[in-house]
């Protein structure tokens, strides 16, 4: 009797016994090796004919027992691992689950309103001009007909740079007007959107930083009527075709005559009453004909050219467009507030 065949059974038995199954991968390896269609036990059955006839039955029984012990080990290991999901039996990703919500970003309400206003003026030929936020005294004040000791400097509580009092955080984007006028000659038609700073006590209605858009139009024969029509066009684009506007006389050092424009909001309920301080009118912007002194300061011939300018705060318009009760909400970056503008 050849011993070889019997040894093969013993070897296989110890391979089965020694095979470590401690995870689903190993379980699968085990299955392929001992129970799969190309398992290593199967070829042993061919050796039945090499065995002496009287021993064949026993040999066959041993092979079957070997196979069963592999099956048994597989079943035991499988139920031991049972609670652990197997890659093969259960997909680790459930493709039928709804996806995680992917939060959409939102534009800041200031940006939304600013873009809309810029858009309105770009449609009629204004181009956007942007400039520095740290500005020298001349461009922020002097060029704009507000020399040192001019009482109008008190209107705008200014942040001066600690090291050099000649520099300020710009108090209005009129400084951009000054820069453009000194760099170029009419026709000039620009809007200047940007952030400005004033040393004001922070409250529900005012902040030390806010945004403005200023406009400037200089050419031959530009009149107050041109300004009025431009501003009416703007008000209609922003607040609807039926909007009513009014111009009230006002004062700015850099314009003469000067006015403030109000938009009629309505006075139907308590909120209207609060927003408009009981008048029904919202103060939207300051405007006027560019003072000839400003043109001369900036090297533009005031005998030949005239122009108008206007300036508006963005925060207030955002506040009444979206009924935001407190200006500070615009600067706190609270995601609960900002996410409300996802579809705005």
How far is residue 201 CA from its own chain's centroid?
Answer: 28
Residue that has been written with the tokens 């999901």 in this structure: 85
Decide: is 262 part of the binding site for ligand PHE (CB under 6 A): no
Of 67, 172, 189, 211, the one binding ligand PHE (CB under 6 A) is 172
Of 30, 217, 252, 265, the one binding ligand PHE (CB under 6 A) is 252
Decide: is 311 part of the binding site for ligand PHE (CB under 6 A): yes
Which is it for the CA torsion 233, 248, 297, 129, positive or negative? negative
Binding residues with ligand PHE: total (CB under 6 A): 11
Q: If we measure between CA atoms, which residue out of 307, 300, 297, 311 comes closest to residue 184?
A: 300
Cβ count near 89 (within 10 Å):
11
Decide: is 286 part of the binding site for ligand PHE (CB under 6 A): yes
Q: Please identify, among the stretches 108-116, 272-280, 308-316, 329-337, the one whose residues bind ligand PHE according to the rule CB under 6 A.
A: 308-316
165-146-201-170 Cα dihedral, nearest 10 degrees: -60
The CB-of-215 to ligand PHE minimum distance in angstroms stands at 8
**What x/- string results for residues 203 through 222 when contact with ligand PHE is judged by CB under 6 A?**
-----------x--------
Q: Please identify, among the stretches 41-49, 57-65, 69-77, 303-311, the one whose residues bind ligand PHE according to the rule CB under 6 A.
A: 303-311
The CB-of-216 to ligand PHE minimum distance in angstroms stands at 8
Decide: is 310 part of the binding site for ligand PHE (CB under 6 A): yes
Question: Could you tell me whether strands 188-197 and 127-128 are parallel, antiparallel, or unpaired per DSSP bridges?
Answer: parallel
Exposed e or buried b for every residue in 41-75, given b needs 16+ CB within 10 A? Answer: beebeebeeebeeeeeeebeebbeebbebbeebbe
The CB-of-109 to ligand PHE minimum distance in angstroms stands at 21
> Site residues (CB under 6 A) for ligand PHE?
172, 174, 214, 252, 255, 286-288, 309-311
């Amino acid at each position: 009797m050849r011993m070889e065949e019997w040894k093969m059974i013993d070897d296989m038995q110890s391979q089965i016994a020694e095979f470590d199954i401690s995870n689903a991968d190993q379980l699968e390896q085990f299955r392929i090796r001992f129970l799969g269609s190309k398992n290593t036990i199967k070829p042993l059955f061919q050796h039945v004919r090499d065995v002496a006839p009287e021993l064949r039955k026993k040999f066959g029984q041993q092979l079957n027992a070997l196979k069963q012990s592999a099956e048994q080990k597989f079943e035991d290991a499988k139920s031991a691992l049972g609670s652990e999901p197997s890659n093969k039996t259960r997909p680790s990703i459930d493709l039928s689950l709804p996806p995680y919500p992917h939060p959409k970003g939102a534009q800041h309400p200031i940006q939304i309103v600013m873009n809309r206003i810029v858009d309105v003026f770009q449609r009629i030929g204004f181009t956007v001009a942007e400039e520095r936020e740290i500005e020298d005294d001349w461009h922020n004040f002097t060029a704009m007909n507000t020399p040192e000791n001019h009482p109008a400097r008190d209107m705008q509580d200014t942040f001066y740079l600690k090291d050099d009092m000649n520099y300020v955080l710009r108090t209005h984007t009129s400084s951009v007007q000054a820069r453009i006028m000194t760099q170029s000659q009419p026709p000039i038609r620009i809007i200047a959107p940007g952030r400005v700073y004033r040393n004001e006590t922070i409250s529900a209605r005012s902040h030390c930083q806010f945004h403005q858009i200023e406009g400037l139009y200089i050419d031959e024969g530009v009149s107050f009527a041109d300004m009025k029509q431009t501003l009416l066009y703007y008000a209609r684009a922003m607040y609807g075709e039926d909007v009513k506007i009014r111009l009230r006389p006002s004062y700015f050092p850099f314009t003469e005559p000067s006015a403030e424009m109000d938009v009629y909001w309505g006075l139907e309920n308590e909120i209207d009453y609060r927003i408009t301080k009981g008048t029904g009118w919202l103060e939207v912007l300051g405007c006027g004909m560019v003072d000839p002194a400003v043109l001369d300061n900036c090297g533009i011939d005031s005998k030949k050219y005239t122009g108008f300018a206007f300036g508006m705060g963005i925060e207030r318009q955002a506040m009444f467009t979206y009924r935001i009760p407190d200006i500070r909400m615009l600067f706190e970056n609270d995601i609960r507030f900002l996410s409300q503008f996802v579809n705005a």
